[in-house]
Amino acid sequence: MDMPMNVPVDDPNADTEWNDILRKHGVIPEKPPSPTPMIEEALTEARRLAHENRLEGKDLDELDALEDDEDDDFLDSYRQKRMAELATIQNTSVYNQVYPLTKAEWSTAVTEESAKAFIFVLLTSSSGMNTESQIMVEVWRNLARKFGHVKFCQIRGDLAIEGYPDRNCPTVLVYTDGDVRKQIITLKELKGASTKQEDLEALMIDLGAIRREDSRLMKREDRNGVGERRGLRQGARGADDGEDSDWD
């Protein structure tokens, strides 16, 4: 009976003639394929996609500013896409305000209505309102004007649920398809008293209430207080920022 031979191999992964002979006879395993070509292919594809999608997220004003730099047909295709998005926003923006809510209306105005749209309900603290409730009242106004396809409601916590404690306010309830999809009690889950509008927008994205590519979302420079968005910043039927609210 032939006994297996111990063949000296310095480095089984080395590209040597000796290793090729050993691989041919099955003494050492085949060398695994180099990942370099696959990495290069992935990088090439990533660059191609980045180039093709370089105009994603730009509004009509920004597209107009690129007339001298981009192909006319390519630029026009994005203009048509943006105009279609604006038309969709206008057609679906049916709420555009914060709706005062009573306990008696809850079933129809929230539970049943959530079959048609996302419903965001804000429970605030009682008389005087605590700091976090005051923050959310202002954020609620802005979000309601900006995202008219989402219904924003507001009610005092103790009027919605008997004995509901102020320490649990503000509370955010998100309804869709007749059920509570998300519940946030106070702003600890967000950024506490430092919570801003973009934090709620991020929540809306996570829940699917708005798309990450939505042209109404604030740009990074807006969040840093550097620039001002030139495109659509509110829902198509939104009111002016200085307009008085029914909740004042």
pLDDT per position as a tens digit, 52-77: 555 565 555 665 666 655 656 666 77
- The enclosing domain of 188 has a CATH number of 3.40.30.10
**Pair 116, 200 in one domain:** yes
**Pair 160, 200 in one domain:** yes
Yes or no: say if 96 and 138 are a contact pair by the CB < 8 Å rule. no
Yes or no: say if 72 and 215 are a contact pair by the CB < 8 Å rule. no
**Using CA atoms, how far apart are residues 23 and 31, in angstroms rounded to an integer?**
8
**Using CA atoms, how far apart are residues 209 and 111, in angstroms rounded to an integer?**
16
**Pair 83, 111 in one domain:** no
**Pair 41, 131 in one domain:** no
Domain count, the chain: 2
Residue 4 included in any domain: no
| Planar angle of CA 19, 22, 26, nearest 5 degrees | 135
* DSSP symbols for 103-162: GGGHIIIIIIGGGTS-EEEEEEPSTT--HHHHHHHHHHHHHHHH-TTSEEEEEEHHHHST
Residue 183 included in any domain: yes
* 229 has a pLDDT exceeding 50: no
Cβ partners under 8 Å of residue 183, min gap 6: 171, 172, 173, 174
* 245 has a pLDDT exceeding 50: no
* 147 has a pLDDT exceeding 60: yes
**Pair 41, 154 in one domain:** no
Yes or no: say if 22 and 9 are a contact pair by the CB < 8 Å rule. yes
Residue 24 included in any domain: no
Q: pLDDT by residue (tens digit) across 157-180?
A: 999 999 999 999 999 999 999 999
**Pair 101, 205 in one domain:** yes
Residue 26 included in any domain: no
**Using CA atoms, how far apart are residues 106 and 126, in angstroms rounded to an integer?**
19
**Using CA atoms, how far apart are residues 244 and 248, in angstroms rounded to an integer?**
7
Q: pLDDT by residue (tens digit) across 174-223?
A: 999 999 999 999 999 999 999 999 999 999 999 999 888 777 775 544 44
pTM beyond 0.85, yes or no: no
Domain extent, residue 72, equals 36-91
Residue 7 included in any domain: no
Residue 160 included in any domain: yes
User: SS3 letters for 1-69?
Assistant: CCCCCCCCCCCCCCCCHHHHHHHHCCCCCCCCCCCHHHHHHHHHHHHHHHHHCCCCCCCHHHHHCCCCC
**Pair 72, 184 in one domain:** no
Yes or no: say if 210 and 150 are a contact pair by the CB < 8 Å rule. yes
**Using CA atoms, how far apart are residues 179 and 115, in angstroms rounded to an integer?**
9
Residue 77 included in any domain: yes
Q: Is the dihedral of CA 139, 142, 144, 147 positive or negative?
A: negative
**Pair 78, 107 in one domain:** no
**Pair 211, 124 in one domain:** yes
**Pair 120, 218 in one domain:** yes
**Pair 77, 146 in one domain:** no
**Pair 136, 215 in one domain:** yes
- The per-residue pLDDT of the chain, averaged, comes to 76
Residue 139 included in any domain: yes
